[in-house]
């Protein structure tokens, strides 16, 4: 099962590397790191990651898209959004962390679906898809093949939830214990929701 | 305040990128990514990170060293251990995550000090420094300028503890909330300790 991680400049560091730590401890998963054109992309905290071009990815994999300040310009990049739509339509599962769900929304992939995002950026995210059934209070949301998480650290809880759905509760718990992580396993338990 | 992140092949991904997410949200910190010779190093999960050579680091910064399976051979690499000792002696603070403390121990830096490490690898870690006062049950341990954490995810709790010590409790809490992280702020609360 190929995990296709799609990076771009100014992605949020932990959005990706939290789930990478979890998926990397599941032997059934093979992780690869992509960007639209390949080469070095930098996280918002300046982490330079060497990526492969997305054209070399196996399309039928599991797509993982981070958030971060880089999403603010990408929603207006038609070529990127078109590429993302194509990847997501072929993918078995589509995961996003934080404001990554704004990219799926802008691509029209979440039409009529339930989804969530970063709580402090939620106002902006909602403008990217008014046809989405946004969930204000959730650690993560699953709707069909789409898994969307709240901000940053919530991606780890979603990743463990995805492992649970694929391989069962024991496997997810074993990974959490291995990395000494206090898993918040209830997707509805969201202490960071903002009253609206 | 320079945060000097020292990477090596087969470092544990989240050991570093959890703390990076936290330190990267503190404007007083400047983060840079090094390895002994510079160039691309890969985490144990295959994340290729482009690094600068450690010779170009400002020696008086804050040194951060991850763990991971790569430490198993590095403890026997005299040139690496000598370089680490030099960096650590000049640094204002020395932080390690997971089995990173084995490297500090092997360099003789933790002589007579309290320190901790990954719980599942603790037997091996202890053999790297029998003169260290190893703490079996701790999320992280502070002794002088040395901060050592338990396995992987514990590095995030230690990083927030370091921010608290530098800038106060409110700043640390604000960062945790910003990244929607449930901070385990008590260094002695360790659900992953193994009875011995």
What is the token pair recorded at B133?
Answer: 């006062």
Pairing of strands B2-6, B62-65: parallel
Q: Which residues pair with A33 in a beta bridge?
A: A5
Residue B196 has pLDDT above 80, yes or no: no
CA distance B118 to B193: 9
Mean per-residue pLDDT, A128-150: 96
Inspect the interface and report whether the beta carbons of B47 and A45 lie closer than 8 Å. Answer: no
What is the token pair recorded at B82?
Answer: 């000598």
Q: pLDDT confidence of A126, banded at 50, 70, 90?
A: very high
What is the token pair recorded at A173?
Answer: 């718990």
Chain A residues with beta carbon closer than 8 angstroms to that of B192: 177, 180
Residue pair A185/A161 in contact by the 8 Å Cβ criterion: yes
CA distance A67 to A121: 10
Inspect the interface and report whether the beta carbons of B17 and A12 lie closer than 8 Å. Answer: no
Q: Which residue has the higher pLDDT, B152 or A109?
A: A109
Mean per-residue pLDDT, A171-178: 95
- Within an 8 Å CB–CB cutoff, is residue B27 touching chain A? no
Q: What percent of chain A has pLDDT over 90?
A: 91
Instruction: Name the DSSP class of B162.
Output: H
Q: Measuring CA to CA, which residue among A172, B163, B13, B128 is closest to residue B117?
A: B128
ipTM greater than cut 0.90:
yes
Inspect the interface and report whether the beta carbons of B179 and A24 lie closer than 8 Å. Answer: no
Nearest-CA distance B125 → chain A (Å): 16
Chain A residues with beta carbon closer than 8 angstroms to that of B46: 24, 31-33
Nearest-CA distance A115 → chain B (Å): 17
CA dihedral B22, A118, A35, B68 (to 10 degrees): 40
Non-local (6+) Cβ contacts of B81 within 8 A are B74, B75, B103, B106, B107
Nearest CA in chain B to A24: B45
Helix (H) or strand (E) holding A18: helix A13-23
- Within an 8 Å CB–CB cutoff, is residue B151 touching chain A? yes
Inspect the interface and report whether the beta carbons of A14 and B21 lie closer than 8 Å. Answer: yes
pLDDT of residue A189: 87
The phi, psi pair for A43, rounded to 5°, reads: -70, 170
pLDDT of residue B10: 98
Q: How far is CA B120 from CA A51, A94, B87, B124, B196, in A?
A: 32, 33, 28, 9, 12
Count interface pairs A-B at CB distance under 8 A: 109
Nearest-CA distance A53 → chain B (Å): 14
Residue with tokens 């430490």: B71
Residue pair A162/A92 in contact by the 8 Å Cβ criterion: no
Instruction: Name the DSSP class of B184.
Output: -
Q: Could you report the per-residue pLDDT of B142-159, keeping only the tens digit for each?
A: 999 999 999 889 999 999
Q: What percent of chain B has pLDDT over 90?
A: 91
CA distance B156 to B145: 18
Q: Could you report the per-residue pLDDT of B10-32, keeping only the tens digit for each?
A: 999 999 999 999 999 999 999 99
Give strand ranges (E) for B43-117. 48-53, 62-65, 93-96, 114-115
Helix (H) or strand (E) holding A94: strand A93-96
What is the token pair recorded at B101?
Answer: 């403390």
Non-local (6+) Cβ contacts of B161 within 8 A are B140, B142, B147, B172, B185, B187
Nearest-CA distance A85 → chain B (Å): 25
CA distance A131 to B80: 56
Residue B53 has pLDDT above 80, yes or no: yes
Inspect the interface and report whether the beta carbons of A21 and B13 lie closer than 8 Å. Answer: yes
Q: pLDDT confidence of B80, banded at 50, 70, 90?
A: very high
CA distance A120 to B97: 29
The phi, psi pair for B21, rounded to 5°, reads: -60, -35
Nearest-CA distance B131 → chain A (Å): 26
Chain B residues with beta carbon closer than 8 angstroms to that of A155: none
Non-local (6+) Cβ contacts of A169 within 8 A are none
Q: Which residue has the higher pLDDT, A152 or A28?
A: A28
- Within an 8 Å CB–CB cutoff, is residue A154 touching chain B? yes
- Within an 8 Å CB–CB cutoff, is residue B32 touching chain A? yes
pLDDT of residue A97: 97
pLDDT of residue A195: 60
Residue with tokens 């026997």: B76
Q: Measuring CA to CA, which residue among B146, B20, B22 is closest to residue B95?
A: B146
């Amino acid at each position: 099962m190929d995990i296709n991680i799609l990076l771009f400049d100014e992605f949020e560091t932990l959005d990706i590397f939290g789930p990478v730590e979890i998926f990397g401890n599941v032997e059934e998963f093979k992780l690869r790191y992509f960007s639209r054109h390949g080469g070095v992309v930098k996280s918002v905290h300046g982490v330079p990651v060497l990526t492969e071009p997305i054209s070399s990815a196996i399309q039928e994999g599991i797509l993982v898209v981070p958030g971060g300040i880089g999403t603010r310009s990408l929603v207006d990049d038609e070529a990127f959004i078109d590429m993302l739509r194509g990847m997501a339509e072929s993918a078995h599962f589509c995961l996003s962390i934080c404001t990554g769900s704004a990219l799926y929304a802008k691509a029209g992939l979440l039409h009529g679906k339930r989804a969530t995002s970063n709580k402090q950026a939620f106002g902006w995210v909602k403008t990217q898809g008014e046809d989405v059934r946004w969930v204000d209070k959730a650690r993560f949301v699953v709707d069909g093949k789409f898994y969307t998480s709240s901000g940053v650290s919530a991606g780890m809880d979603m990743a463990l939830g995805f492992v649970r759905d694929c391989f069962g509760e024991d496997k997810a718990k074993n990974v959490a214990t291995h990395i000494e992580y206090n898993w918040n396993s209830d997707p509805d338990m969201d202490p960071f929701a903002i009253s609206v």
